[in-house]
């Protein structure tokens, strides 16, 4: 509950870090403004991920038309439609029908059938690795039951490195009970990638997430904070010098490994000393109100609490709250938010669904409607929250300058297919995207939704095409050249048509 203030001391240290990049010292205040406020556009991407595909029959709008105006919400009233919980925000939705995760197709599974004659194994597992990377999966090792990880960078990291590298948290990866056993189907548990076989882990523990994101902000302004920052500086300087000293003694392979580590140390140092871009007022930390008797200062205890099924809803609420605050404060502009993980077999006691999610998806179980409407309700709440927050330093609300992408790793969980994914977008990202529309990219529409879901239409647009459009929505705001392709170029035809406002 404190307002964050930049101390003069701290500014001088910041200056020490970044002085080389600043040619003229005009006045400390104006210089601080230049040094501390990254020149990044007020644009945001929030990816909300849910597991095991969705029921296409219940997700699509049952009208045969290439484009449907959904802005009034009149077509989102069917109690069995998965988007009905988003009805009140229909005017902010952009529903993209008949866009496929092409690189996750079965065609790209085995060397015998893959166009590149290379094995990219995986069934269910392929969807998540491909989703934001537009890449095939690299071969795994089956002693490890591992389908292999994705072969490239995800869209959030691409934006982080090209547009938002100066943000305190270029990206945040947040999880709600994402399985942490990486020895079993690692690829199922990661959505964000720094590069080939380099996934980023989501943080499942809200207490730890909060500490990471706001710990430095919250403790600032006091003498204690100066001590902490001074100690961090000494510690990380010593650590950095260790890395430097070792360089001449190691193989090139080890040096590559340690260089990556040292780069992360330096970026941590920058994050620790970098001031938040805007004031962070009234920050609410997770508290023992959520957890009851456990010791919230013990990370092992809070982690165990966060991973218990009975706490799923409360963990989700806390994680959403931390994400919203981080975005509103300008601490981050790019978030991947995972509700559990691909192939999760979790049950949903609070929905009175005591069947495993994964099994239900193979059965196209009718109770999946309850599950996916629960998640849609979470997205709706997020939209409402972001709508209510004025965007500091930009016009409109935070929601006006954001894009939420709500989707799963698969289309049809029953068949493991990734054709005709459910891409539900919300928010125009500063006026870039059309709103209140459903766009159907090819004209496949019959009474048999399951058959339609598993039919490839023409044109055959891909998730990679959508990633190009997302990249463009940021690039146009930042005034940098627009990307024309994303991920593996075999799966990309350029930005999606009909999508721009």
Partner 1 sequence: MRARSTWSVPSFVICLAVAGCNGSISDNGMSPGGPGIGSGGNGNPGNGGSGNPGNGGSGNPGTGGSGNPGTGGTVTLPGSALQSAPAYRLTNQEFTNSASDLLGVPVSVALEADAPSSGGFWIGGAASDGSVRAYHTAAIAIATQAVAAANLAKIAPCSTTAQNATCAGTFIDTFAPKAFRRPIDATERTALLNAFNTISGKYGFSAGMQTVIEAILQSPSFLYHLELEEQALGAGKQPVTGYSMASRLSYLLWATTPDDTLLQHAGAGMLSTKDQVSAEATRMLADARAKNGVRYFYEQWLKATDLPNSKTSPFDTKYTTTLQAAIKQSFDMQMDDALWADTGSVTALLTSRTAYVNQELAPIMGVTGVTGTGMQKVQVNQAQRAGILTHPAIMATFATENTSHPIKRGVFIWGKVMCQPLPDPPANVPPFVAPSPGQSLRQDFETLTKDPTGCQPCHARINPVGFLFESYDTIGQYRTTDDNSQPVNTAVTIVGTGDPMLDTATANAPQFLDRLGADDSAVGACMVTHLYRFAAKRAEADGDTNDITTLTNTLKSSNQSFKQVLLGLTQTEIFLNRLNVL
Enumerate residues 406-425 that contact partner 1 by CB under 8 A.
414-417
Q: Is 212 in the site for partner 1 (CB under 8 A)?
A: yes
> Which of the stretches 20-28, 35-43, 296-304, 489-497 binds partner 1 when contact is defined by CB under 8 A?
296-304
Structure tokens at 402: 């954001």
**Shortest separation between residue 47's beta carbon and partner 1, angstroms:** 17
Residue 112 in the binding site for partner 1 (CB under 8 A): yes
Contact 130, 418 (CB under 8 A): yes
Reduced to 3 states (helix: H, G, I; strand: E, B; else coil), residue 46 is strand
Region of 4-12, 89-97, 185-193, 464-472 interacting with partner 1 (CB under 8 A)? 185-193
Among 80, 287, 288, 298, binds partner 1 (CB under 8 A): 298
State the minimum distance, in angstroms, from the CB of residue 340 to partner 1: 7
Residues 451-490 interacting with partner 1 (rule: CB under 8 A): none
Q: Which stretch binds partner 1 (CB under 8 A): 62-70, 177-185, 436-444, 486-494?
A: 177-185
What is the secondary structure of 409-450 as a DSSP string?
S-SBTTTTB-SSEEEEEE--TTTTB--SEEEESS----S-HH
The residues in 356-385 that bind partner 1, with binding defined as CB under 8 A, are: 356, 358-360, 362-363, 365
> Which residue, 97 or 173, has its beta carbon nearer to partner 1?
173
Cα 452 to chain centroid, rounded: 28
Give least dist CB 345 to partner 1, A: 5
Q: Of these, 79, 183, 289, 292, which contacts partner 1 (CB under 8 A)?
A: 183
Cα 317 versus chain centre, distance: 16
Binding window for partner 1 (CB under 8 A); candidates: 273-281, 303-311, 476-484, 488-496: 303-311
| Integer Rg of the chain from CA | 23
Q: Which residues pair with 334 in a beta bridge?
A: 45
Residue 306, number of CB atoms within 10 A of its CB: 26
Residue 375 structure tokens? 């998640």
116 to 103, 107, 475, 488: CA distances (angstroms): 12, 10, 32, 12
Three-class secondary structure of residue 101 per DSSP: coil
d(CA 28, CA 35): 10
Whether the CA torsion 3, 8, 14, 20 is positive or negative: it is: positive
- Residues 315-354 touching partner 1, rule: CB under 8 A, are 340-341, 343-347, 349, 354
* Residues of this chain, 17-46, that bind partner 1 according to CB under 8 A: none
Tell the smallest beta-carbon distance from residue 74 to partner 1 (Å).
35
Q: Which of 165, 172, 155 is nearest to 469 (CA)?
A: 155
Residue pointed to by tokens 């146009």: 476
Rank residues 79 and 117 by Cβ distance to partner 1 and give the closer one: 117
Give the contacts of 493 (CB within 8 A, at least 6 positions apart).
459, 461, 462, 465
Query: Does residue number 146 form part of the binding site for partner 1 (CB under 8 A)?
Result: yes
Q: Between residues 148 and 495, which has the closer beta carbon with respect to partner 1?
A: 148
Q: Measured on CA atoms in the order 351, 354, 358, 359, is the torsion positive or negative?
A: negative
Take residue 173 and report the two structure tokens written for it.
Answer: 């990866």
Beta strands per DSSP E along 314-415: 334-339, 402-408
Out of 38, 123, 431, 459, name the contact with partner 1 by CB under 8 A: 123
Q: Report the candidate in 435, 440, 485 with the shortest Cα–Cα distance to residue 459.
A: 440
Torsion angle of the four alpha carbons 413, 407, 50, 71, in this order, in degrees rounded to the nearest 10: -110
Counting contacts by CB under 8 A, is residue 442 touching partner 1? no
Q: Does residue number 201 form part of the binding site for partner 1 (CB under 8 A)?
A: yes
Contact status: 66 vs partner 1 (CB under 8 A): no
# residues near partner 1 by CB under 8 A: 115
Q: Which of residues 226-285 bind partner 1 (CB under 8 A)?
A: 227, 230-232, 234-239, 241-243, 245-246, 249-254, 256-258, 260-262, 264-265, 267-268
Give the CA count within 13 Å in the CB-facing half-sphere of 186.
Answer: 21
User: Rounded distance, CA 114 to CA 353, Å?
Assistant: 39
Which residue's CB is nearer to partner 1, number 42 or number 358? 358
Give the shortest CB-191-to-partner 1 separation in angstroms.
14
- Comparison of 266 and 387: residue with beta carbon closer to partner 1: 266
Tell me whether residue 243 is exposed, middle or buried, using C-beta atoms within 10 angstroms of its C-beta: 0 to 12, 13 to 18, 19 or more: middle
Q: Which stretch binds partner 1 (CB under 8 A): 37-45, 355-363, 392-400, 488-496?
A: 355-363
Question: Minimal distance in Å, beta carbon 314 to partner 1?
Answer: 14
Q: Nearest distance from residue 296's CB to partner 1, in Å?
A: 13
Identify which range of 11-19, 40-48, 118-126, 456-464 contacts partner 1 by CB under 8 A.
118-126
Q: Binding string, 71-100, against partner 1, x = CB under 8 A?
A: ------------------------------
158 binds partner 1 (CB under 8 A): no
CB of 242 to partner 1, least distance (A): 5
């Amino acid at each position: 509950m404190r307002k964050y203030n930049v101390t003069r001391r701290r500014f001088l240290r910041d200056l020490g870090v970044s002085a080389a990049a600043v040619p003229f010292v005009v006045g400390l205040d104006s210089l601080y403004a230049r040094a501390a406020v990254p020149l990044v556009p007020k644009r945001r991407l929030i990816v909300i991920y849910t597991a095991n595909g969705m029921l296409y029959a219940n997700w699509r709008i049952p009208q045969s038309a290439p484009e449907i105006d959904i802005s009034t919400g009149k077509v989102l009233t069917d109690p069995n439609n998965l988007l009905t919980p988003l009805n009140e925000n229909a005017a902010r939705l952009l529903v993209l029908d008949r866009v496929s995760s092409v690189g996750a197709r079965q065609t790209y599974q085995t060397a015998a059938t893959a166009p590149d004659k290379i094995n990219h194994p995986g069934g269910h597992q392929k969807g998540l690795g491909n989703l934001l990377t537009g890449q095939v999966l690299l071969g795994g090792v089956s002693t490890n039951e591992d389908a292999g990880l994705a072969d490239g960078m995800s869209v959030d990291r691409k934006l982080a490195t090209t547009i938002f590298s100066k943000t305190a948290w270029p990206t945040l990866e947040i999880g709600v009970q994402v399985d942490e056993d990486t020895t079993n189907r690692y690829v199922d548990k990661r959505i964000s990638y720094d590069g080939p076989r380099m996934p980023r882990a989501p943080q499942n523990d809200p207490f730890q997430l909060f500490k990471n994101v706001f710990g430095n902000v919250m403790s600032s302004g006091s003498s204690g904070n100066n001590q902490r920052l001074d100690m961090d500086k000494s510690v990380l300087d010593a650590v950095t010098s260790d890395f430097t000293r070792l360089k001449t003694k190691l193989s090139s392979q080890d040096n590559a490994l340690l260089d990556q580590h040292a780069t992360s140390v330096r970026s941590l140092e920058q994050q620790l000393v970098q001031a938040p871009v805007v004031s962070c007022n009234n920050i609410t930390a997770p508290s023992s109100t959520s957890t009851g008797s456990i010791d919230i200062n013990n990370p092992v205890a809070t982690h165990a609490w966060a991973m218990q099924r009975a706490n799923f809803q409360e963990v989700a609420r806390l994680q959403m709250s931390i994400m919203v605050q981080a975005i509103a404060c300008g601490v981050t502009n790019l978030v991947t938010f995972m509700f559990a993980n691909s192939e999760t077999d979790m049950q949903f006691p609070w929905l009175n669904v005591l069947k495993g999610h994964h099994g239900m998806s193979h059965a196209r179980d009718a109770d999946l409607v309850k599950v996916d409407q629960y998640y849609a309700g979470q997205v709706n709440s997020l939209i409402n929250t972001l709508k209510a927050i004025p965007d500091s330093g930009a016009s409109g609300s935070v929601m006006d300058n954001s894009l939420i992408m709500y989707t799963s790793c698969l289309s049809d969980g029953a068949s493991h297919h990734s054709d005709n994914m459910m891409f539900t977008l919300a928010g125009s990202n500063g006026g870039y995207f059309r709103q209140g529309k459903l766009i159907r990219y090819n004209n496949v529409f019959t009474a048999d939704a399951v058959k339609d879901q598993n039919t490839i239409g023409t044109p055959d647009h891909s998730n990679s095409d959508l990633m190009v459009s997302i990249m463009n929505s940021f690039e146009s705001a930042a005034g940098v050249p627009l990307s024309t392709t994303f991920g593996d170029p075999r799966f990309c035809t350029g930005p999606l048509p009909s999508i721009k406002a």
